[in-house]
């Protein structure tokens, strides 16, 4: 079960949210979704300079960021040993001496994200930790394998022990405006997941316009997505602040109309602690504190954790250490 930081430095169980069951496709709502690109880009451009947290407040925000990381390895040369080391890092994301100085106990990452073949070693390595294994699925990253195989892949990953499934949508449905097909596809994937939570990867860098991003976000939530996610991390353009603004406002609209909270996961290109702070501040301003918890917000990242740990050590000892002092595995 995911946990929540308290001011005492201990962690308590989170209250669980009712899962988004999805609704019928509402084409009037979809077509009403628009995106003022120039206004969105102006708003996004102000974000890095508008909010600054320092010292103890910054350390607290960075600890929160760690709890929201999906620690990820998605390489063709992944091995069971690499995954086991990554899982050890997920269990102990920051050196014990630094956590002791910060008065923090029980900190873990939000999840470990792997390919299907690496689920079994990840499940074994995380046994007893409460950290879920997330698996990328449905022909990740292109999503162009035969449809029945994509659905079967979800079932295989759930059976292997994945508690979260990151699926990729068919971008052609968005680019051609075939919203019914996107809804049907997403609904089939959602049903195949069963009790496992599903994150819909929009691959926003390939959707053409911010309006398409807004409409695809809504359709995936209508079909029952538990999270909407920016990118596979394999596209030429991954998570950006304008895209994030569009997606989280779609989440807010969906919550206001249906009462169901859907999570958000920016992925790809977020590697610096200062970037994590910007995304956290954006979530707080647009959606509120409830979306600053790992059941509703995740970073899809790997190298981000190393930079956060360096920043935390700087806060504790007043100097930066070499990166090799904070290995990921």
What was the pLDDT predicted at 127?
98
Spell out the domain ranges in the chain: 23-325
Query: pLDDT-based confidence at 11, cuts 50/70/90?
Result: very low
Report cis status (omega within 30 of 0) of the bond before 132: no
Look at 276 and 2; give whichever has higher pLDDT: 276
Tell me the two tokens of residue 160. Answer: 């292997």
Q: How many other C-beta atoms are found inside a 10 Å radius of the C-beta of residue 194? A: 12
pLDDT per position as a tens digit, 56-76? 999 999 999 999 999 999 999
**Planar angle of CA 173, 179, 182, nearest 5 degrees:** 60
**What pLDDT is attached to residue 52?**
72
Question: Would you please indicate which residues are annotated as catalytic (active-site) residues?
Answer: 166, 229, 265
The answer, as to whether pTM is greater than 0.95, is no
Residue 266 has a pLDDT of: 98
Backbone angles phi, psi at 39, to 5 degrees: -70, -40
The pLDDT value given to residue 318: 85
- pLDDT tens by residue, 292-326: 999 999 999 888 999 999 999 999 998 877 766 66
Task: Locate 86 and state its tokens.
Answer: 């990554």
Residue 230 CA to residue 71 CA, distance in Å, equals 16
Half-sphere exposure of 25 (CA within 13 A, CB side): 17
CATH fold of 23-325 reads TIM Barrel (3.20.20)
* Mean pLDDT, range 262-283, rounded to an integer: 95
Model pLDDT for residues 98-139, shown as the tens digit of each residue: 999 999 999 999 999 999 999 999 999 999 999 999 999 999
- 47 vs 175: which has the higher pLDDT: 175
Task: Kindly tell me if the per-residue pLDDT of 38 is higher than 90.
Answer: yes
pLDDT at 50: 66
Spell out the residues 6+ positions from residue 200 whose beta carbon is closer than 8 angstroms to its own.
167, 169, 186, 189, 220, 225, 227, 228, 229
């Amino acid at each position: 079960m995911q946990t929540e930081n308290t001011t005492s430095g201990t962690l308590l169980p989170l209250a669980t949210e009712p899962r988004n069951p999805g609704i019928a496709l509402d084409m009037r709502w979809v077509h009403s979704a628009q995106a003022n690109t120039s206004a969105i880009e102006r708003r996004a451009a102000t974000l890095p300079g508008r909010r600054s947290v320092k010292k103890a407040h910054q350390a607290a925000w960075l600890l929160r960021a760690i709890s929201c990381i999906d620690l990820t390895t998605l390489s063709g040369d992944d091995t069971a040993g690499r995954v086991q080391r990554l899982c050890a890092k997920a269990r102990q994301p920051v050196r014990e001496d630094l956590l002791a100085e910060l008065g923090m106990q029980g900190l873990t990452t939000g999840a470990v994200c792997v390919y299907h073949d690496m689920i079994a070693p990840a499940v074994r390595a995380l046994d007893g930790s409460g950290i879920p294994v997330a698996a990328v699925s449905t022909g990740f990253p292109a999503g162009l394998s035969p449809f029945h195989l994509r659905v079967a892949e979800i079932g295989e990953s759930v059976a292997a022990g994945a508690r979260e499934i990151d699926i990729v949508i068919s971008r052609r449905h968005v680019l051609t405006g075939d919203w019914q097909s996107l809804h049907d596809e997403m609904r089939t994937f959602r049903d195949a997941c069963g009790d496992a939570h599903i994150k819909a990867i929009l691959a926003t860098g390939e959707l053409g316009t911010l309006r398409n991003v807004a409409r695809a976000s809504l359709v995936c939530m209508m079909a029952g997505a538990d999270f909407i996610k920016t990118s596979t991390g394999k596209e030429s353009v991954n998570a950006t602040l304008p895209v994030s603004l569009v997606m989280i406002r779609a989440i807010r609209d969906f919550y206001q109309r249906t009462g169901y909270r859907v999570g958000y996961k920016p992925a790809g290109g977020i590697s610096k602690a200062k970037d994590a702070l910007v995304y956290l501040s954006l979530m707080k301003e647009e959606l509120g504190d409830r979306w600053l918890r790992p059941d509703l917000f995740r970073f899809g990242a790997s190298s981000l954790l190393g930079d956060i740990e360096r920043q935390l050590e700087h806060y504790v000892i007043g100097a930066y250490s070499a990166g090799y002092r904070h290995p990921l595995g």
